[in-house]
Amino acid sequence: MGKPTGFMEYGRTDAGHRTVEERIKDFAEFTEPQSRESLNTQAARCMDCGVPFCHAGFVVQGLSIGCPLSNLVPEINDLVYRGEIEKAYRRLTKTHPFPEFTARVCPALCEGSCTLGEHEPPVTIKEIERFVSDEIVASGALRPRYPKVTTGKSIAVVGSGPSGLACADLLNQFGNRVTVFERADRAGGLLMYGIPNMKLEKQVVETRVELMRDEGVRFQTGTEIGNDYPVLALMRDFDAIVLCAGATQERLLAAPGADHAGVVTAVPYLTASTKNLLDGTPMPAEMDARDKDVIVVGGGDTGTDCIATAIRRGARSVAQFEIMPKLPDERAANNPWPLWPRVFKTDYGQEEASKLFGKDPREFLTTVKEIKGDGHRVTSVVTVGVEWEEQGGRMVPAELPDTERERPCGLLLTAMGFTGPERILIDQMNLQTDARGNVKADEDGYRTSLPTVFAAGDMRRGPSLVIWAIHEGIRAAKACDRYLRQKQNV
């Protein structure tokens, strides 16, 4: 390593944030990256630990240990410390096609398993990754990579989210003719319309998509397979199909009055906000947050994004209800290193709400029992406290007596996660599914019950992180290409 004692000499320094007062006035990214000199020092903290769990890339007890892509983190950090940024980028992209995405939206599974992090604050791996990728883009060194061979095979990738982009990118590099179908008007899927601009500026996504176009990938947007393009025609026109359409079925709020105008699920709300930002498309009236009391149901990243978006859209107040208990401030005994740390954190949306409204917007062990309206729109919600108790071998929430409370609400945003993929493709292709309703495909071949149809990402794995979607897209591309080559040689 360039600085063997760096981890003993330097403390962790994180990226700065634009002030709340400044950043809520626009939709620009809220972070302020560190300087080259500062990140050079941060890279020096990587401790040559011998067994770098940061790139272990596997799951234990349902929690990730290290990066699913097995990024060569210590080597990258060493190159950054030595100032060899282009070499660091080449090393990074040996395993990771899109570091500019995860450097902004990944929770940094690598840092959760950093060996230094067992006793000290972990290395700022995510921020170093962003610095490396942004430096390459800014320098003009990010150029098209043209396939060196041609297989003559044509492959359709359905969905242009992180798994679809990763799959299409690698299949194209293998020499296949790749067409990506996306039902939205822009490519990027979740990256474009499910994550707000202040966390992932859309120019970052568009730059990558344009690069892939230059490299030969064809994007056909505004086309929904099974609707605009018949499934039978797709199977006739392409040698293979990889389904990367995500787990887009949002979990709905099961409470009386949930059909009132102004009760909106998270993804359509975030999509409308981004379309307004990019195209000037007016926000639908039922999604208007201006001068309204906004309530967000559900925690997680999507709930945070809804809070931050509503604030920028002029909400009068914001509250967030989470049915789960508050996480501990430090690792619990059953959550040891190097498992991903399940600890309490305050994200950018909660930080903004706390600053503007004087308190953390989150209330834990709370759920919505009833939604009231005036005949036109939601006007209030009735909440109730809950406790978790075991029933029939599983934990379920039970209402606590005398905890009902009515609260004003002009816009209710539900961010309660996703239940699985939509059924249109599954039903039209008559695909087998697993017990959770995901497309059934094994982790080695990624093949579905149809021999030329593969599945990857959330559509196969279930709702997960962007980094896992990319991991799945890469592996499905390898499996699909291998299948076609073997078939050709028979």
Count of domains for the chain: 3
Report the distance separating Cα 338 and Cα 370, nearest Å.
41
Q: Assess whether 108 and 200 both reside in one domain.
A: no
Q: Assess whether 323 and 402 both reside in one domain.
A: yes
Closest CA to 153 of 429, 488, 447: 488
Q: Assess whether 189 and 324 both reside in one domain.
A: no
pTM of the model: 0.96
Tokens of 340: 């991903």
- Of 372, 400, 416, which one is at a domain's C-terminal end? 416
- Of 139, 170, 202, which one is at a domain's C-terminal end? 139
Give pLDDT, residue 110: 97
pLDDT band at 376 (very low <50, low <70, confident <90, very high): confident
Q: Assess whether 239 and 340 both reside in one domain.
A: no
Q: Assess whether 263 and 357 both reside in one domain.
A: yes
Residue 146 lies in a domain: no
Burial of 459 (0-12, 13-18, 19+ CB in 10 A): buried
Q: Assess whether 52 and 130 both reside in one domain.
A: yes
Give pLDDT, residue 62: 86
- Of 114, 139, 164, which one is at a domain's C-terminal end? 139
Q: What is the mean pLDDT of the chain?
A: 96
Residue 126 lies in a domain: yes
Q: Assess whether 401 and 257 both reside in one domain.
A: yes
Q: Assess whether 262 and 411 both reside in one domain.
A: yes
Give pLDDT, residue 61: 85
Q: Concatenate the DSSP letters of all residues of 239-271 into one string.
A: SEEEE-----EEPPP-STTTTSTTEEEHHHHHH
Helix/strand number for the chain, H first, E second: 17, 20
Residue 93 lies in a domain: yes
Which residues, 6 or more positions from 136, have their beta carbon under 8 angstroms from its beta carbon?
Answer: 85, 86, 89, 142
Q: Assess whether 259 and 384 both reside in one domain.
A: yes
Q: What is the pLDDT of residues 167-216, one digit of tens each?
A: 999 999 999 999 999 999 999 999 999 999 999 999 999 999 999 999 99
Residue 147 lies in a domain: no
Grouping H, G, I as helix, E, B as strand and the rest as coil, residue 353 is: helix
Segment 455-472 shows an average pLDDT of 96
Q: What is the pLDDT of residues 63-82, one digit of tens each?
A: 899 999 999 999 999 999 99
Q: Assess whether 234 and 373 both reside in one domain.
A: no
Q: Assess whether 267 and 371 both reside in one domain.
A: yes
Cα–Cα distances (Å) from 147 to 122, 171, 177, 218, 350, in that order, read: 38, 10, 10, 14, 45
Domain range enclosing 29: 6-139
Is the pLDDT score of 111 beyond 60? Answer: yes
Q: What is the pLDDT of residues 389-404, one digit of tens each?
A: 999 889 999 999 999 9
Closest CA to 300 of 334, 323, 277: 323
pLDDT band at 317 (very low <50, low <70, confident <90, very high): very high
Q: What is the pLDDT of residues 214-263, one digit of tens each?
A: 999 999 999 999 999 999 999 999 999 999 999 999 999 999 999 999 99
Grouping H, G, I as helix, E, B as strand and the rest as coil, residue 117 is: helix
Grouping H, G, I as helix, E, B as strand and the rest as coil, residue 228 is: coil
Segment 335-354 shows an average pLDDT of 96
Q: Assess whether 58 and 89 both reside in one domain.
A: yes
Is the pLDDT score of 435 beyond 70? Answer: yes
Residue 363 lies in a domain: yes
Report the distance separating Cα 263 and Cα 318, nearest Å.
15
Is the pLDDT score of 490 beyond 70? Answer: no
Residue 483 lies in a domain: yes
Q: Provide the CATH number for the domain around residue 352.
A: 3.50.50.60
Closest CA to 459 of 430, 489, 418, 402: 418
